[in-house]
Amino acid sequence: MKRVGVGLVGFGTVGQGVVRLLRDEAEGIRTRAGVTLELRRVVDVDTRRARAVSLPPRMLTDDLAGCLADPEVLVVVVAVGGPDNARGAILPALEAGKSVVTADKAAIAAHGAFLADVARRRGVSLGIEATVGAAVPVIRVLRASVLADTVDGVAGVVNGTTNFVLTRMTEEGDSLEEALAEARARGFAEADPTDDLDGWDSVRKLAIVAGLAFGAGTRVEEIPRAGIRAVRPEHCRAARALGYAVRLVAWGRRDSRGGPPVLRVEPTLVPAADPLAAVRNEENAIRVTCRAAGDLTLAGRGAGAMPTAHALLSDALDAATGRGSVPGLPLPPPGRSAAGDDSVPAGRLVLAPEGSGLARKLEAAGLEVLVEDADAAGAGGLEAAITAPASTSLARRATGALAAAVVYPILPAAAGGPSAPAPAQVEA
């Protein structure tokens, strides 16, 4: 039986999951994949800290060079965070002629094209399935889709922490702070939640997905981004009463005139019947809209040690059995912004304090109001209106005149462009 040596860099949450899965599935992997994955070294800057998973004596080391010098190690699993840390491990591993699989979206979003090029030149593979959606196999689906079909749009709920917070706000009426404390207590919110709450984690994943889907790279900083800090439980409840869920959606659409794709991350209303609204708590869901195949929606556990380990080992097995491939991750053409602001959502939810005369004022400013709810299902003294699709500039003018108005876009249909929302059910 073929034996392939594996080096693991990073023995934290994900790294320990990789060791556990390698152990638990060792026999199954041999039978099903016809290969033995043999863990040879585990590299971590901290070799003293106690961990829940034990290793054989002398397997844990802080010597990356020693791991890469081992001729038996053919695949390196990189499970460290921070673009510089991970790149600091990925690049030397590729240069040493090892295939690399990684979970670090920050490194791939920032340096993916460069690293993929190094892998190509060295004749090894770079696996990135674990960077987006953990166990949700979106990279595999995209790689297959872009060969046979044209991908016109992507839309995803790709950050588990923010989705957990939004679910708690909607269902329990929790404040952001209360929901975040609960997420921490359950062990999946970072000590510093900035990357999640401000949408940075989502834009990194969107940059990776959009690079594959549309063949156009994007600098993470150029993607319009709004996090969830301004979302209130009463907004979520008003949206639900009108037949929608508030989700932090990472969204992208191919530009029909051949320009750069339109990308954004922002709190967005998703119709309740849409699979992206059905993902609760820390789950992720991603929809890939293909010209021939239509919508493909994938959902599952988008974070956590074991789902991430699952994706890493899938990629490691592809590399070990010669099926691994280097994804095309093109860099943005110099001087062109890849993220325009010309998208027209499929309507908007506008919320304003009770007594604002919201619907009347919106119509006076030129927006068509499809649904109005003067009491927003009793959601904290707000009145709500859902408008028909309109340009961003008209919507800004109309809502800018309203004091304390809050605006949420409604998720556009990725393939066919914006469509008016289905009539919403307003609760008595």
Residues that bind ligand NAP (CB under 6 A): 9-15, 43-46, 79-81, 85-86, 88-89, 103-104, 130, 134, 303-304, 308
Residue 221 DSSP class: G
Nearer to ligand NAP, 9 or 316 (CB): 9
Nearer to ligand NAP, 166 or 303 (CB): 303
Backbone angles phi, psi at 106, to 5 degrees: -65, -45
User: Could you say which of 98, 105, 205, 361 is catalytic?
Assistant: 205
Least CB distance to ligand NAP at residue 190 (A): 8
| Structural element, H or E, at residue 307 | helix 305-320
| Structural element, H or E, at residue 29 | helix 26-33
Nearer to ligand NAP, 88 or 330 (CB): 88
Question: Tokens representing 309?
Answer: 């380990």
Nearer to ligand NAP, 1 or 50 (CB): 50
CA–CA dist 265, 250 (Å, integer): 4
Phi-psi region of 133 (alpha: psi -120 to 50; beta: other; left: phi over 0): left
Question: How far apart, in Å, do the first and last CA atoms of the chain sit?
Answer: 66
Which residue's beta carbon is nearest to the bound ligand NAP? 12
Smallest CA-to-CA distance from 340 within 388, 392, 291 is with 392
Q: How far is CA 217 from CA 121, 206, 260, 289, 343, in A?
A: 20, 10, 9, 18, 19
Least CB distance to ligand NAP at residue 286 (A): 14
Smallest CA-to-CA distance from 209 within 328, 346, 78 is with 328
Smallest CA-to-CA distance from 329 within 150, 155, 125, 153 is with 125
Nearer to ligand NAP, 201 or 266 (CB): 201
Question: Tokens representing 290?
Answer: 């293909």
Contact 112, 128 (CB under 8 A): yes
Active site residue 205: yes
Nearer to ligand NAP, 79 or 246 (CB): 79
Least CB distance to ligand NAP at residue 40 (A): 16
Q: Where are the alpha helices (DSSP H) in 149-264?
A: 160-172, 176-185, 194-197, 200-214, 233-241
Catalytic residue numbers, as ranges: 205
